[in-house]
Amino acid sequence: MVEAMQQRAQKGTSLKSFNSVIMKFPKIDESLRNCRTIFQQFDEDSNGEIDQEELKHCFQKLDISFTDEEIKDLFEACDIYEHMGMKFNEFIVFLCLVYLLNDPLVSEARKRMGLGNLEPTFETLVDSFVFLDKNKDGYVSKNEVIEAINETTAGERSSGRIGVKRFEEMDWDKNGTVTFKEFLFAFTRWVGIDDNEDEDDEE
């Protein structure tokens, strides 16, 4: 995944400031909510998690020939909690990963999954990460976040602190760098989509 991001970083970003990222939140929010419908299709027993078997069934239905090994790899790349069910926010990471795989077979499958109209959203998410990753090494460091926020709120004394706070929200495993996966998880929290939102489904 880091590799995929490094490759993507070479193409550059269209974003000019952290504010322009924030401006896109409502649109992203809407699209990510649409992902929930796809999530529910995958989650056959409706227990709020997609397990490897369910993922396999789904790929079979879509006629995508991933090997068991490939499915396992995809799964492990998304499963931050290191248990075997994929939650909704992990599913977003999964979809983004599928988006980043520039395989013709995969892009055909994406259309069949109904992901075609989600592509601008994933593009924005990837773009935002690339924007933050100034040195394009595939990770976002604390200084990179502070720098990005400083560019936007130049002269405000609190901007350094905001940067540190944002960074800490993103650095899930507290190892000092933010991966694209951690970035996506933070995003689902910022736009208010996470596992605590199940009550929305009852409507």
Q: Which of 30, 70, 76, 173 binds Ca ion (CB under 5 A)?
A: 173
* Residues 6 or more apart whose Cβ sits within 8 Å of residue 110: 98, 99, 116, 119
Cα dist from 163 to 6, 80, 144, whole Å: 23, 24, 9
Q: Residue 203 Cβ, how far from Ca ion at the closest point, in Å?
A: 21
**Which residues fall within 8 angstroms of residue 130, CB to CB, at 6 or more apart?**
5, 8, 9, 11, 12, 13, 136
One-letter amino acid for residue 49 of the chain = E
Residue 148's SS3 state is helix
Q: Which residues from 45-64 bind Ca ion, rule CB under 5 A?
A: 45, 47, 49
- Residue of 5, 186, 195, 185 whose CA lies nearest to 80: 185
Nearest-approach distance from CB 78 to Ca ion, in angstroms: 15
User: Which of 19, 102, 117, 175 is close enough to bind Ca ion by CB under 5 A?
Assistant: 175
The distance of closest approach from Cβ of residue 51 to Ca ion in the complex, given in angstroms and rounded to an integer, is 5
By CB under 5 A, name the one of 39, 87, 133, 193 that touches Ca ion: 133
Q: How far is Cα 41 from Cα 95, in angstroms, rounded to an integer?
A: 14
Binding segment toward Ca ion, per CB under 5 A, in 4-12, 138-146, 147-155, 161-169: 138-146
- The DSSP annotation for 46-89 comes to -SS-B-HHHHHHHHHHTT----HHHHHHHHHHH-TT-SS-B-HH
**CB 194, min distance to Ca ion, A:** 18
Residue 168 Cβ, how far from Ca ion at the closest point, in Å? 10
Q: Which is nearer to Ca ion, 7 or 47 (CB)?
A: 47
Site size with Ca ion, rule: CB under 5 A: 11
Contact stretch for Ca ion (CB under 5 A) within 9-17, 71-79, 93-101, 130-138: 130-138
**Judged by CB, which is closer to Ca ion: 44, or 103?**
44
Which residues are near Ca ion by CB under 5 A?
A: 43, 45, 47, 49, 133, 135, 137, 139, 171, 173, 175
